[in-house]
Structures are given as structure tokens and as C-alpha cells.
């Protein structure tokens, strides 16, 4: 009986590691396309059969045509590159500041009592409220936009790092001290593995807010970027251009999040919840 069970389990494991597993790994991301593709197909058919005129919400065929026209004119690449650069620069600045502040407030109780109340109060300020002040301080050029994005990225990273550091099991730290680990070894073998999963999640949350804040940054005083395309489409009465810019935001946001998750995956293979995805 036990030999039979062992043979069945070995066959099952061989089947999981066989040729089906690579195919399943490549097909799994396609499942996420079922919902948006299904909704797009439904709306295309709704406009085709006359259930809606498609004037305010154009069908996917019209949006695709708008994408093609913008790409042919070079506008799509130009505005997308400007937005990507702003998000990238603001993300790096926000991550650096949020990681440092979160580590300090999470590790030191005195720093937490001094800094955290003020930072929590600042976190409640709406993003659009910073725009007039940053324009007065830094002008209407790139600096004000990048700093606004950095503010949006800062707070989720700060909260994630602070919470992760504060939640590290003190017993594990005591075990490291009992084995007389050096400070560097303590950080590398105990603190980093404990903090890294929450840190990656906070980075992804910060990146998402960075894409949201760049819209607010480009709404005022910008002549380039996907946010400018949104305003231009509104002023000229082009709903297809507005929806195309929104779709471009969604695609770029998803691609950047997938790249960040892929870059962090090798460091999180030991985590079951990350290994399953």
C-alpha cells in the first residue's frame, strides 16, 4: 500500500515538473487578461449592435485607432517617455527617503515618538494641496513634479518599513545575539529576511501611488506627459484620446509593477505566498 502511494506521489511530482509546468507558468499570466478582454469585447459588440452610440465611451476599435494615430505622429512615445521619467525619478527619491525614515522610526522608540506623529499628520494632506506650494517653491518645471511624486511614494514605503522593523520577532534577534552574530551578519541573516516581504509590498504600493500622483503633477503646469494628453483631450472634446491616455496609464502601471515584482522575486523564493504567484 505504501509503495503504491509512493509511486503515485512520484508520478504526480514528475508530472508537475514535466513539460506541463513551463506551459502552465507562461499561460498563468494570460488568465488576468480574461476580464479586461471580455469587457472590451462586450463594449465593442454593444456599440456595433447599436445598444450604445459610443460617443462618450468609445469602443476599443476607436481607442486602438487613436493609439495608432498618436504613435504614428510620435506623440504617444513622447508623452509616455516624459511621464515614465517623472515616475522613475520621483519613485527613487521617495523610496530613499521613506526607507530611511521608516528604518529610523521603527528601530528607535525615541525617534518614533518624535517623528511619527508629524509624518502621520502630513500623510493626511491631499496630493492636490501640495501642488500650489511646490509650484511657489520650485517653479512649474520638473523639480516640483518629481517632488510631488516622491511625496506620494514616501508614505507607503515609510509605513511598510516602519511596521516591518517594529514587527521583527525579538526572540529571533536574541537568538542571533546568542550565536554572537556581528552587526552586519545580524542585518543580513535576521533583519533583512524578516523585513523584505513587507518592504517589497510597500514598494509596489508606493509605485502605484507614484502613478497616481504623476497625474496630479501633470494636470497643472505641464506641456508634456500622459496627464497633458488627458487635459488636451478634455479641452478639445476628444473622449477617445482621454480613454487612450487612461489605458496607457494602466498598461505602464501594470508593466512597472510586474517588473518590480520580478526583480524582487529571487529574494523572496523562500516565502510560500510569493512562490505561489
The whole-number pLDDT of residue 9 equals 44
Sign of CA dihedral 106, 107, 109, 110: negative
Q: For residue range 249-262, what is the model confidence (pLDDT) as tens digits?
A: 999 999 999 999 88
The torsion defined by the Cα of 163, 215, 65 and 238, in degrees rounded to 10, comes to 140
CB 213 within 8 A of CB 90: yes
Q: Please, which pLDDT band fits residue 6 given cuts at 50, 70 and 90?
A: very low
Assign residue 74 a region: left if phi > 0, alpha if psi is -120 to 50, beta otherwise?
A: left
Residue 272 C-beta-side C-alpha neighbours within 13 Å: 0
Alpha-carbon distance of 142 to 122, in angstroms, equals: 22
The whole-number pLDDT of residue 256 equals 93
CB 226 within 8 A of CB 247: no
Higher-confidence residue of 105 and 182: namely: 105
CATH entry, 63-275, from 1.10.3720.10, 3.30.360.10, 3.40.50.300, 1.10.10.10:
1.10.3720.10
Whole-model pTM? Answer: 0.80
Q: Which residues have CB under 8 Å from 212's CB, separation 6+?
A: 127, 152
Q: Which of 185, 174, 202 lies closest to 103 in space, CA to CA?
A: 202
The whole-number pLDDT of residue 277 equals 53
Alpha-carbon distance of 212 to 100, in angstroms, equals: 23
Domain boundaries, the chain: 63-275
Q: Which of 167, 200, 186 lies closest to 271 in space, CA to CA?
A: 200
Q: What is the mean pLDDT of residues 104-125?
A: 88
Q: For residue range 229-254, what is the model confidence (pLDDT) as tens digits?
A: 888 888 888 888 888 999 999 999 99
Maximal C-alpha separation, the chain: 79
In the numeric block, which cell numbers belong to residue 196? 523584505
- Name the one residue in this structure whose C-alpha cell is 476599435: 61
Higher-confidence residue of 107 and 14: namely: 107
Q: What is the DSSP string of 162-187?
A: HHHHHTS-HHHHHHHHHTT--HHHHI
Alpha-carbon distance of 256 to 247, in angstroms, equals: 14
Sign of CA dihedral 97, 183, 106, 157: positive
Q: Which of 67, 49, 46 lies closest to 57 in space, CA to CA?
A: 46
In the numeric block, which cell numbers belong to residue 57? 465611451
Q: Which of 52, 75, 93 lies closest to 206 in space, CA to CA?
A: 93
Task: Let me know if 3 is exposed, middle or buried by CB neighbors in 10 A (0-12, 13-18, 19+).
Answer: exposed
Q: Please, which pLDDT band fits residue 2 given cuts at 50, 70 and 90?
A: very low
Amino acid at each position: 500500500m505504501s509503495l503504491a502511494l509512493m509511486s503515485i506521489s512520484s508520478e504526480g511530482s514528475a508530472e508537475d515538473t514535466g513539460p506541463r509546468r513551463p506551459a502552465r507558468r507562461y499561460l498563468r499570466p494570460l488568465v488576468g487578461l480574461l476580464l479586461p478582454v471580455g469587457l472590451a469585447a462586450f463594449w465593442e459588440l454593444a456599440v456595433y449592435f447599436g445598444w450604445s452610440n459610443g460617443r462618450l465611451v468609445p469602443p476599443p476599435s476607436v481607442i486602438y485607432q487613436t493609439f495608432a494615430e498618436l504613435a504614428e505622429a510620435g506623440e504617444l512615445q513622447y508623452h509616455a517617455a516624459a511621464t515614465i521619467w517623472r515616475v522613475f525619478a520621483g519613485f527613487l527619491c521617495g523610496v530613499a527617503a521613506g526607507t530611511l525614515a521608516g528604518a529610523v522610526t521603527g528601530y528607535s522608540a525615541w525617534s518614533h515618538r518624535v517623528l511619527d506623529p508629524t509624518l502621520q499628520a502630513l500623510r493626511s494632506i491631499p496630493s492636490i494641496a501640495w501642488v500650489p506650494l511646490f509650484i511657489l517653491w520650485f517653479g512649474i518645471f520638473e523639480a516640483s513634479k518629481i517632488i510631488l511624486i516622491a511625496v506620494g511614494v514616501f508614505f507607503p514605503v515609510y509605513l511598510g518599513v516602519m511596521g516591518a522593523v517594529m514587527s521583527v520577532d525579538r526572540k529571533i534577534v536574541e537568538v542571533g545575539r546568542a550565536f554572537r552574530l556581528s552587526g552586519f551578519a545580524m542585518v543580513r541573516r535576521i533583519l533583512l529576511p524578516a523585513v523584505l516581504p513587507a518592504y517589497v509590498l510597500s514598494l509596489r504600493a508606493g509605485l502605484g501611488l507614484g502613478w497616481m500622483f504623476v497625474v496630479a503633477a501633470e494636470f497643472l503646469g505641464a506641456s508634456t506627459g500622459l496627464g497633458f494628453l488627458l487635459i488636451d483631450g478634455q479641452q478639445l472634446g476628444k473622449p477617445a484620446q482621454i480613454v487612450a491616455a487612461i489605458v496607457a496609464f494602466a498598461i505602464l502601471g501594470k508593466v512597472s509593477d510586474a517588473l518590480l515584482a520580478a526583480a524582487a522575486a529571487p529574494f523572496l523564493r523562500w516565502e510560500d505566498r510569493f512562490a505561489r504567484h
